[in-house]
Amino acid sequence: MSDTTPTPTPAFPAGSVLGYPRIGPRRELKKAIEAFWAGRSTADDVEQVAADLRRRTRTRLAGLGLATDAPAIPSAFSFYDHVLDTAVLLGAVPERFADLQDADGRLDLAGYSTVARGRGDDLPLEMTKWFDSNYHYLVPEIGPGTTFRYASDRPVAELAEGLAEGVLTRPVVVGPVTFLALSKPTADAPEGFSPLDRLDDVLPVYVRLLTELAAAGATWVQLDEPALVSDSTGVPAQRLHEAVRHAYRVLATELARPQRPAILLAAPYGDLGAAWPVVAATDVEGVAIDVVRGAAPTTAPDGLSTKTLVAGVVDGHNVWRADLDAKLAVLEQLEGLGAAAVTVGTSTSLFHVPHDVADEPALDPTLASWLAFADQKVVEVATLAEGLTEGREAVHEQLLAAADALRTRAAAPGVVRPEVRERVAALTEAQFSRGTFEARREAQAARLALPPLPTTTIGSFPQTSQIRKARAAFGTGDLTAEQYEDEMKAEIRRVVELQEGIGLDVLVHGEPERNDMVQYFAENLDGFSVTQNGWVQSYGSRCTRPSILWGDVSRPAPITVAWAQYAQSLTDKPMKGMLTGPVTILAWSFVRDDQPLGDTANQVALALRDEIADLEAAGIAIVQVDEPALRELLPLREADQAAYLDWSVRSFRLSTAGVRDDTQIHTHLCYSEFGEIIDAIEGLDADVTSIEAARSKMEILGDISAAGYPRGIGPGVYDIHSPRVPSEGEVTDLLASAVRSIDVGQLWVNPDCGLKTRRYEEVTPSLEHLVQATRTVRATL
Ligand code: GLN
Ligand code: ZN
């Protein structure tokens, strides 16, 4: 043997998962880190809880069938966010937080938390959506002057932690190309600068990391490069591909094994498309692809024959049991491509789904038998791996059980309801559109008689601890339905009186009766179930509990009408009815996978349409249908976006187009990237749309006006995401600038989102300033 003989690639397990929930089955990490932030515990306490969770995860995953002698178990923990972890690992902390780093660029847990959460005027890193999930990551800020250095030994320490217990894990880190593609330029970066310009400067840190991991005993490392499946990172595909070629030349070719572990380049969340041959041509030892969102590749590009292909056949994104037989067929087909090996994986990390169906004893057992949360998915992966290596007979029983579950699900009462199907099938085009906006504008102006620059809020008022206590007591039976209703009515009365006192023009009831803007509707519609412990991380320590939409949707009874009617009875001002739109209900639930999402959306839309008709009949003149998630579900690939926008916009119209001309439809969108989807917003045909705009200083209004958008628009005049109370002068200035950039007849005045997470100490003065500022600007008209 000559010494140029390549070092043989270490064994890769037949089954593995790309990641696992990190928050803990009972949100242990959330509780620990929030206690630390509140000063109720020390960093050591949190480290203890975290180490414990990691150990339980390793033990659990091994117990469910993942190998411990080959790196099947990911080491993918995070205290807050994995993109922040990567920035911290690279020493790439914004200048304003540099004082938190020690001489070697390291951050302690307090410093790390500060970068995530901000302090005083030092804003935290911005947060944005992680690919097409409901998870939000922190956006690193990278400029020409950012210093990169190896500044965290956490990946190495966590590997060692596993090895000490005899478990060989696979460290998971965001890859260099995705890290930079997801970063934003620092404020001082020159025009045209792109964080990817710094690729050559981050690579040495990755080289160091890989070297350290190899020295500590890692045989494989997973570098996540989901930027490759997306057209939405802002980096052109050619540039991304070039960056991949370059980065992996440095990390995989120039850095030879065994100085580094074998590299698994993971591309979750979609189809690699044109990046597939690019990835195959690198010298990494393994590629993980998503064959749930993405198509199974049918071509074997150059370079594939030396690689392990980790086929993500088990859906990391949704909660349904897999059709194991069909998955095996996909795996067998992939074996035909001629990769060095095909192994079984998940399409994404499992942190988008809850831990364990067994934690849901209250769930209907039939429904539960159709579900696979993270732990059940691990078993599916292990089963498929066994089937692939030992043959179908070896897992015969499991295949039958999976097929059985699918059959029961398809035939179960409520899954397909002819009356719902017939109603959707009978829809006519006319049901998707209202009369002309001009006619509506006149009819509504006559009915509502609002002053110029009408003031309103987005819907929710603070969810006080009293409200939460009442809801909990109602849940446990300590409050009767009647007592609970009385408490909520008292709250509504307080909120209405407060708004009257402040002088707002269009009032809301405050949404005290809603635990969550989606779950509340899920609890009141047929076809949904809710979980007790099904928490998934939304961002940092924040978790949501998505509802499970499993059957055909209908509305057994009016949901919001009595509350709206009661609220309207307390005031002569118009009271807005408040609903969550079909797209947002889908986006924030686990949706059925047995029919197109657009069909499900139309079922939800019809239920909402009935609700709106009842609100209208009850005398409610304005109905707001919130769609903060409209942009969230936008597909990552441009080619898929038009079809999505078509069905999503149509479902909104189906829900709202049944009203009379003199009933005003509002919608609320939680973001300011109005320009990106202005055609879609045009398509919604809402009479008034409120958006976030305070942080972008109303810049968006210029575009809206230039686009000739004729309908009402309520740009948020202050940022409710911060406890800061805006001064009257500041709101006056913003409004004055708004009046200059858009026809005053279109303008509404409102905060930029609901107030439920704020306290009255902030809300009351903020709204007073808003109303005062509006009066000042009205006087100049
Ligand atoms: N009506 C909801 C509220 O005010 C809207 C929330 C949202 O857009 N996320 O809370
Ligand atoms: Zn909002």
Tens of pLDDT, residues 328-364: 999 999 999 999 999 999 999 999 999 999 999 999 9
134 labelled binding-site residue: yes
Question: Mean pLDDT of all residues in the chain?
Answer: 96
Q: Phi/psi of residue 15, each to 5°?
A: -140, 135
Encode 175-191 in three state secondary structure.
CHHHHHHHCEECCCCCC
Closest ligand to C-alpha of residue 691 is 2
Most ligand 1 atoms within 8 A of CB, residue of 517, 542, 560, 758 to mutate: 517
Distance 631 CA to ligand 2 centre (A): 12
Given 411, 432, 459, the domain boundary residue is 411
Please state the atom number of ligand 1 nearest to the C-alpha of residue 517: 2
**755 part of a folded domain:** yes
Most ligand 1 atoms within 8 A of CB, residue of 456, 460, 560 to mutate: 460
Cβ–Cβ under 8 Å, residues 66 and 382: yes
Q: What gap in Å lies between CA 709 and CA 93, rounded to an integer? A: 41
Going by C-alpha positions, the residue among 158, 174, 173 that lies closest to residue 57 is: 158
Q: Phi/psi of residue 309, each to 5°?
A: -100, 115
User: Based on the number of CB atoms within 10 Å of its own CB, is 172 exposed (0-12), middle (13-18) or buried (19 or more)?
Assistant: buried
Element (H, E) at 265: strand 262-267
Q: What gap in Å lies between CA 303 and CA 287, rounded to an integer? A: 11
Residue 558 CB: number of other CB atoms within 10 A?
A: 18
Given 385, 411, 437, the domain boundary residue is 411
Distance 490 CA to ligand 2 centre (A): 25
Measured by CA distance, the residue closest to atom 3 of ligand 1 is: 754
Closest ligand to C-alpha of residue 460 is 1
Going by C-alpha positions, the residue among 376, 381, 378 that lies closest to residue 359 is: 376
Distance 307 CA to ligand 1 centre (A): 48
- Both 397 and 452 in one domain: the answer is no
Going by C-alpha positions, the residue among 708, 578, 623 that lies closest to residue 444 is: 623
Measured by CA distance, the residue closest to atom 5 of ligand 1 is: 754
28 labelled binding-site residue: yes
Distance 543 CA to ligand 2 centre (A): 17
Distance 753 CA to ligand 1 centre (A): 6
Distance 614 CA to ligand 1 centre (A): 21
Specify the number of domains making up the chain: 2
The full DSSP string for 15-63 is B--S----S-TT-HHHHHHHHHHTTSS-HHHHHHHHHHHHHHHHHHHHH
- Both 355 and 496 in one domain: the answer is no
Cβ–Cβ under 8 Å, residues 610 and 582: no
Helix %, strand %, coil % of the chain (to 5): 45, 15, 40
Measured by CA distance, the residue closest to atom 1 of ligand 1 is: 459
Tokens of 589: 């639930």
Contacts of 80 (CB under 8 A, 6+ apart): 33, 112, 113, 116, 138, 540, 541
- Both 471 and 601 in one domain: the answer is yes
Residues in the chain with pLDDT values less than 50: 1-2
Most ligand 1 atoms within 8 A of CB, residue of 578, 626, 756, 763 to mutate: 626
- Both 401 and 462 in one domain: the answer is no
Please state the atom number of ligand 1 nearest to the C-alpha of residue 459: 4
Distance 721 CA to ligand 2 centre (A): 10
For residue range 582-620, list pLDDT tens digits in order.
Answer: 999 999 999 999 999 999 999 999 999 999 999 999 999
* Interface predicted TM-score (ipTM) over 0.90: yes
Cβ–Cβ under 8 Å, residues 104 and 98: no
Going by C-alpha positions, the residue among 510, 518, 458, 519 that lies closest to residue 487 is: 510
**CATH code: domain of residue 379:** 3.20.20.210
Most ligand 1 atoms within 8 A of CB, residue of 129, 456, 458 to mutate: 458
Q: Phi/psi of residue 214, each to 5°?
A: -60, -45
Measured by CA distance, the residue closest to atom 6 of ligand 1 is: 754
Cβ–Cβ under 8 Å, residues 603 and 589: no
Q: Give, to the nearest 10 degrees, the angle between helix 481-502 and helix 465-476.
A: 160
**420 part of a folded domain:** no
**22 part of a folded domain:** no
Domain that holds residue 106: 28-411
**243 part of a folded domain:** yes
758 labelled binding-site residue: no
47 labelled binding-site residue: no
Q: Phi/psi of residue 691, each to 5°?
A: -135, 170
Q: What gap in Å lies between CA 92 and CA 82, rounded to an integer? A: 14
Given 350, 385, 411, the domain boundary residue is 411
Distance 449 CA to ligand 2 centre (A): 26
- Both 335 and 478 in one domain: the answer is no
**682 part of a folded domain:** yes
- Both 404 and 543 in one domain: the answer is no
Q: Which residues are the active-site residues?
A: 721
- Both 653 and 526 in one domain: the answer is yes
Q: What gap in Å lies between CA 254 and CA 471, rounded to an integer? A: 61
Q: Phi/psi of residue 222, each to 5°?
A: -110, 120
- Both 107 and 213 in one domain: the answer is yes
- What pLDDT shows up at residue 672? 67
753 labelled binding-site residue: yes
- Both 360 and 477 in one domain: the answer is no
Q: What gap in Å lies between CA 188 and CA 608, rounded to an integer? A: 47
**417 part of a folded domain:** no
- What pLDDT shows up at residue 1? 41
Distance 671 CA to ligand 1 centre (A): 12
Going by C-alpha positions, the residue among 291, 336, 288 that lies closest to residue 317 is: 291
33 labelled binding-site residue: no
Q: Phi/psi of residue 543, each to 5°?
A: -125, 155
Which residue's entry shows tokens 């928490």?
535
What is the CB < 6 Å shell around ligand 1?
458-460, 517, 578, 626, 628, 668, 670, 753-754, 756
**495 part of a folded domain:** yes
Which residue's entry shows tokens 């620059």?
453
**2 part of a folded domain:** no
Measured by CA distance, the residue closest to atom 9 of ligand 1 is: 628
For residue range 543-585, list pLDDT tens digits in order.
Answer: 999 999 999 999 999 999 999 999 999 999 999 999 999 999 9
Cβ–Cβ under 8 Å, residues 311 and 331: yes
Cβ–Cβ under 8 Å, residues 458 and 690: yes
- Both 379 and 478 in one domain: the answer is no
Please state the atom number of ligand 1 nearest to the C-alpha of residue 580: 1
Contacts of 298 (CB under 8 A, 6+ apart): 337
Closest ligand to C-alpha of residue 692 is 2
Closest ligand to C-alpha of residue 671 is 2
For residue range 239-262, list pLDDT tens digits in order.
Answer: 999 999 999 999 999 999 999 999
543 labelled binding-site residue: yes
Closest ligand to C-alpha of residue 756 is 1
198 labelled binding-site residue: no
27 labelled binding-site residue: yes
Measured by CA distance, the residue closest to atom 4 of ligand 1 is: 754
- Both 42 and 143 in one domain: the answer is yes
Measured by CA distance, the residue closest to atom 10 of ligand 1 is: 754
- Both 329 and 462 in one domain: the answer is no
Please state the atom number of ligand 1 nearest to the C-alpha of residue 578: 1
Please state the atom number of ligand 1 nearest to the C-alpha of residue 754: 4
